Amino acid sequence: DIGGLDEELELVRETIELPLSEPEVFTRLGIDPPKGVLLHGPPGTGKTLIARAVANEVDAEFITVDGPEIMSKYKGESEERLRDVFERASETAPAIIFFDEIDSIAGKRDDGGDVENRVVGQLLSLMDGLDARGDVIVIGATNRVDTLDPALRRGGRFDREIEIGVPGEAGRRQILDVHTRRMPLADDVELDQIASRTHGFVGADIEGLAQEAAMTALRRARESDKRALDDVTVSKADFEAAHANVEPSAMREYVAEQPTTDFTDVGGLPEAKEKLERAVTWPLTYGPLFDAADADPPTGVLLHGPPGTGKTLLARAIAGESGVNFIQVAGPELLDRYVGESEKAVRDLFDRARQAAPVIVFFDEIDAIAADRDGAGGDGSGVGERVVSQLLTELDRASDNPNLVVLAATNRRNALDPALLRPGRLETHIEVPEPDREARRKILDVHTREKPLVEGVDLEHLADETEGYSGAEIASLCREAALVAIERVADEHGAAANDHADEVGITSDDFAAALETVRPATP
């Protein structure tokens, strides 16, 4: 019943099964068996499932303790509840005590109140008092391992820490097998394809996806013919509908997506596209080739150029071209006036990104959080310096993860802290310039290809007329021309205008009117 966690399951087995099933091995070796195992990782990855599975395999009593339920407002009651749990385990040994959300009762004592400190002290005492025979083992589960009291993580308590991470594509495929093995699948369902499209999904998300696909199939069958319920099958379309409704938990804190934008949506910028493809798509696609060449892919890419030239659109497009997740962060959103909160936001962002890999993290307006610490760009409060330091630390860590690429955009490259631009960080710099005439013509193509242009609209002439316009301003020009056309039909037909939608056509005069309204910021 467990898919995608073979390696983690084996680690838990060797730590727990041997002490419970063959304790004499440890006696013969003259060592104490482990007393505790700490499972940590994002919610929904299977920590509880692994603990239950191992308990079943060794036929041990499984005692589940929900961390928050231990706590009581009455003095001494929380500690008494803990003692009762350990006493019951000793009486029913071999036993496994499983603390879910252990961080809720065993946080750092310096951060907690009197009750919390006493509970941590009691837990430490009870673990130290476990019989050396190893017939009672404690498993703790948390998705916030760094908040635990350090004393719990020392030898003789939680002797082993095992990370239960977000599954890769092969793991997701195994989990899909588990949750669809009793499901009548239509011939067009390709589980390999579903696994490749579910970046960032944990086991619980994939279970939810399968259930939602099945419910979609049921609703479809009921709406068409109730007699079809006996023959209902879950189709590719059902999974696609479910995928649109099930959000991977690794992406909920920061809005992450799989963009449908690609390079066909970006007019011009051939050099920037080519450089981005080499810096981003190649490492994500050709990992074995980089290994064979002993070449390190770039950790980060900086897009720089005037406002409105398409830096954000390029970032989204390269994510769409690469088929990976995309997390966009506006620099100012990370800043917080409270000490330590901004740095924590940066850490949390990268933790989430690692869980959603392969992923592109895009910092828009990075100059807002990474201004030169020695220059006038700093905020003078110390917050900026701490955020830059934390960002540098995370970029250094990201250099070891080829499935995490950092993109950043700025129109003030000279204002950035120089340490950010060194090799191993934002080392690849790609200029996104104002569009030349050829680029403006291609941008016009992109923004008019779905619009009802009347015969006679001359895009070549418009490309000449828009000298000095940025890509964003050309997009705005096309929108304004469309609004002029809509206004003409609305004025002519009044309340019945919607019945004349087929009369909407954008003329050369509409573009001429739009050119009077939409002017370039830097003519």
Q: Mean pLDDT check: name the lowest of 36-50, 149-163, 324-338, 362-376.
A: 324-338
3-state SS assignment for residue 362: strand
Contacts made by residues 276-284, CB under 8 angstroms, sequence distance 24+: 276/301, 276/314, 276/318, 276/430, 277/318, 277/321, 279/428, 279/430, 280/318, 280/322, 280/360, 280/405, 280/407, 281/318, 281/321, 281/322, 283/402, 283/405, 284/322, 284/324, 284/358, 284/402, 284/403, 284/405
Our CA angle for 125, 128, 131, nearest 5°, is 125
Q: Please state, in angstroms and rounded to a whole number, the distance separating the CA atoms of residues 378 and 502.
A: 55
Look at 420 and 355; give whichever has higher pLDDT.
420
pLDDT value for 431: 94
Domain 169-250, CATH number (from 3.10.20.30, 1.10.8.60, 3.30.43.10, 3.40.50.10860): 1.10.8.60
The Cβ of residue 136 has, within 10 Å, a number of other Cβ atoms equal to 26
CATH number for domain 437-517, candidates 3.30.1950.10, 1.10.8.60, 1.10.760.10, 3.30.1330.10: 1.10.8.60
Cβ atoms 353, 327 nearer than 8 A: yes
pLDDT confidence of residue 298: 85
What is the CB neighbour count within 10 angstroms for residue 380? 8
Helix 471-493 vs helix 508-517: crossing angle, to nearest 10: 120
pTM: predicted TM-score of the whole model, two decimal places: 0.60
Taking phi over 0 as left and psi of -120 to 50 as alpha, with beta for the rest, 382 belongs to left
The dihedral over CA atoms of 316, 321, 325, 327, expressed in degrees to the nearest 10, equals -20
Show Cβ contacts of residue 123 under 8 Å, excluding neighbours closer than 6 positions.
82, 105, 106, 152
Whether 326 has a pLDDT exceeding 80, the answer reads yes
pLDDT at 63: 92
Helix (H) or strand (E) run with residue 142 in it = strand 136-142
Check residue 484 and give its pLDDT. 94
pLDDT tens-digit readout, 140-154 = 998 888 788 888 888
Estimate the crossing angle of helix 236-245 against helix 203-224, to 10 degrees. Answer: 120
Cα angle vertex 509, ends 508, 512, to 5°? Answer: 90
What pLDDT, on a 0 to 100 scale, did the predictor assign at position 213? 94
Name the H helices within 436-507: 437-448, 459-465, 471-493
- How far apart are the two ends of the chain, measured CA to CA in Å? 65
Q: What is the pLDDT of residue 10?
A: 85
Query: What pLDDT score was predicted for residue 370?
Result: 86
Residue 444, Cα to own-chain centre: how many angstroms?
34
The answer, yes or no, to whether residue 118 has pLDDT greater than 90, is: no
User: Is the pLDDT confidence value at 216 over 60?
Assistant: yes
pLDDT at 105: 84
* Domain layout of the chain by residue ranges: 6-163, 169-250, 256-431, 437-517
pLDDT at residue 442, as a whole number: 92
Asked if pLDDT for residue 339 goes beyond 70, the answer is: no
User: What gap in Å lies between CA 426 and CA 20, rounded to an integer?
Assistant: 50
Q: What is the mean pLDDT of the chain?
A: 85
- The whole-number pLDDT of residue 256 equals 60
Quick one: tokens of 55?
């308990």
With cut-offs at 50, 70 and 90, classify the pLDDT of residue 248: confident
Least confident of 126-140, 216-230, 391-405, 462-476: 216-230
The whole-angstrom separation of Cα 490 and Cα 478 is: 19
361 vs 6, residue with greater confidence: 361
Tell whether the model's pLDDT for residue 20 goes beyond 60.
yes
Q: What is the pLDDT of residue 22?
A: 78
Domains 6-163 and 256-431 share a fold: yes
Residue 290 CA to residue 159 CA, distance in Å, equals 37
Instruction: Return the higher-pLDDT residue of 420 and 337.
Output: 420
User: Alpha-carbon distance 204 to 191, whole Å?
Assistant: 17
Q: What is the mean pLDDT of residues 181-202?
A: 89
Across the strands, what pairs with 107?
Answer: 148
Tell me the C-alpha distance between 238 and 398, whole Å: 36
- Output DSSP code: residue 310: S
Whether 523 has a pLDDT exceeding 80, the answer reads no
Pairing of β 325-330 and β 256-257: antiparallel
Of 3.40.640.10, 3.20.20.100, 1.10.3720.10, 3.40.50.300, which CATH number belongs to 256-431?
Answer: 3.40.50.300
Is the pLDDT score of 476 beyond 70? Answer: yes
Has residue 448 got a pLDDT over 90?
yes
Q: What is the CA radius of gyration of the chain?
A: 29
Using pLDDT thresholds of 50, 70 and 90, give the confidence band for residue 93: confident
How many whole angstroms separate alpha carbon 477 and alpha carbon 69?
A: 60
**pLDDT band at 255, cuts 50/70/90?**
low
Percentage, residues of the chain above pLDDT 90: 35
Read off the pLDDT of residues 372-423 as tens digits, 9 standing for 90 and up.
Answer: 777 644 555 566 788 888 888 988 888 888 888 999 999 989 989 899 998 8
Work out the pLDDT band at 111, boundaries 50, 70, 90: low
Determine the number of helices (DSSP H) and then strands (DSSP E) in the chain.
20, 11
Q: What's the confidence (pLDDT) of residue 261? A: 87
Confidence of residue 354 (pLDDT cuts 50, 70, 90): confident
- Looking at the domain 6-163, which fold is it? Rossmann fold (3.40.50)
Amino acid making up residue 7? E
